[in-house]
Structure 1
Amino acid sequence: MSQDPHNGKGTFEVHKQPQPGLKVFRKGKYIDPKTFQMSPALIRARRPFFVRNMLALAGLTGFVAGIYGYTMYSLRTDDFGDVPIPPLDPEEIKKLQSKYSDDSKA
């Protein structure tokens, strides 16, 4: 037997149950629930880590920027002269030239 979800009036009964995983903001002892600002105790607890965290952030940012800069510098100075180009027949060159000259006119 299947249960009828209707309550006899043509509408569904809605059973609302709390869903604990869907709360976005948790109530905490160290955050004001109205303003969401940190309490003085939380600020004091985090203060010793602030300088170390900022130094770590600066170090990681510098490292990533250095890698990016080195990569751009290396690619800009490379001439790709050591990459062999396969030989082409003169007929293939004419076909390619006609193909690309036709595409540029269109």
Structure 2
Amino acid sequence: MSVITIDDETFTVEVHQSKIPVVLAFISDNKASGRMKDVLDQLAQDLGGKVKVAQKKFEATGLLEKNYDVQSAPTTLLIQTETVVGQYSFEWFKNKIESSLNL
């Protein structure tokens, strides 16, 4: 699987109606977001089919950013039946997803 790009209009279908958990990263044009994109690509390859990996361009005044209290990019959320978990390193995040979902 590959990383999908979402926006406010596609969020409900891609995230809320997803049958599998969703890793959602809010990204921008900074270096940290660039590194996060590499992590997301690897995560999509390693866990594709078990989780959906999505990215959204960070907007300081965006509706989703306000709803999830996302204040900067990159910020990554794991969303499954209203459970949201942040993350920082790829290995920690991958292990957290696998253990949270009993994969």
Do both share a fold (TM > 0.5)? no
Higher helix share: 1
Greater C-alpha radius of gyration? 1
Question: TM-score, with normalisation over the residues of structure 2?
Answer: 0.19
> Higher relative contact order by CA 8 Å / sep ≥ 6: 1 or 2?
2
Higher strand share: 2
Question: TM-score, with normalisation over the residues of structure 1?
Answer: 0.18
